[in-house]
Amino acid sequence: MSEYSVEVAPRELEEVAAGYRRYLLVERGLSVATVDCYVPRARRFLARCDGPGGLRLAELTAADVSGFLAQACPLLGAASAQLLAAVVRSLLRYLYWAGLIAAPLEWAVPAVAALKGRSLPQALEPATIPALLGTCDQRRTVGRRDYAILLLLSRLGLRASEVARLKLDDVSWRAGELVVRGKGGRVDSLPLPVDVGEALVRYLQRRPSGSDGCRALFLKVIAPVGPMSRYAVGGARGLLARWHSTGGLSPAAAHRGDRDAPLGRHAGGDRAGAAPS
């Protein structure tokens, strides 16, 4: 047995979960955040194996694995179901590696389709954009920031993660362009429409001073000041959720805004060419 295996005894579930946690941290080298995400889901599967006689890992079969996922996954969204399947697959690898099951069962975990039962995302109606913009109080710093972010999401079709990655140096005022860093290390230079440039100028006039010379374009306004995360830009706790609650949008429309609302990624209009004063 490996040094991360456990002896099945009273309180088996917690001991197996603790051994799995050590395995992920030490053997697999995963981050604490990832491990904290995996272990509760692993416990959920282990609880299915628990009974009056303790964990019955020696009796675990492929049918038990697929049966658990067939029952649990339909109650979850696609991403959560995929995560649960990945955790069960990882746990089964550990159980076999630690000698707690006699045969490898990870093959029994079915693939979970990401788009099952889903339609293609629909863009926001053009008339929705002014309604969203109107909810931003530009007398306040946060309002100017949110207004500029919403224009980037809607006019250039940027993802929330792309907005969060923007740096002060990514705005080329003389050329009227914006450097965008996307998925897979892709870098694009997009035309900077005049209205977007003007919104950025108004925000930069009020932008907080970041700590340690932070060069992120968009900063949090609540201490400690620092760069906004992609979740703050476009997640359920971020801008679009607030616009949904104040602008009368459906939750689905609010969710679509950060990626699928563009009126054209290279939206028309002249390029911005004036640097902020």
The DSSP result for 16-84, as a single string, is HHHHHHHIIIIIS---HHHHHHHHHHHHHHHHHH--TT---GGG--HHHHHHHHHHHGGGS-HHHHHHH
- The segment with the largest mean pLDDT, out of 62-66, 85-89, 148-152, is 85-89
Residue 255: pLDDT band (50, 70, 90) is very low
59 pLDDT exceeds 80? yes
* Mean pLDDT within 155-160: 81
* Mean pLDDT within 58-72: 86
Q: Is the CATH code 1.10.150 the one for domain 12-108?
A: yes
Place domain 128-260 in its CATH homologous superfamily.
Intergrase catalytic core (1.10.443.10)
Numbered ranges of CATH 1.10.443.10 in the chain: 128-260
Residue 123: pLDDT band (50, 70, 90) is low
State which H helix or E strand residue 156 sits in. Answer: none
d(C-alpha 135, C-alpha 224), whole Å:
25
Numbered ranges of CATH 1.10.150 in the chain: 12-108
Burial of 136 (0-12, 13-18, 19+ CB in 10 A): buried
Residue 215: pLDDT band (50, 70, 90) is confident
pLDDT per residue as tens digits for the range 193-203? 898 999 999 99
Tally: H helices and E strands in the chain: 11, 3
Residue 34: pLDDT band (50, 70, 90) is very high
Rg (CA), the chain: 24
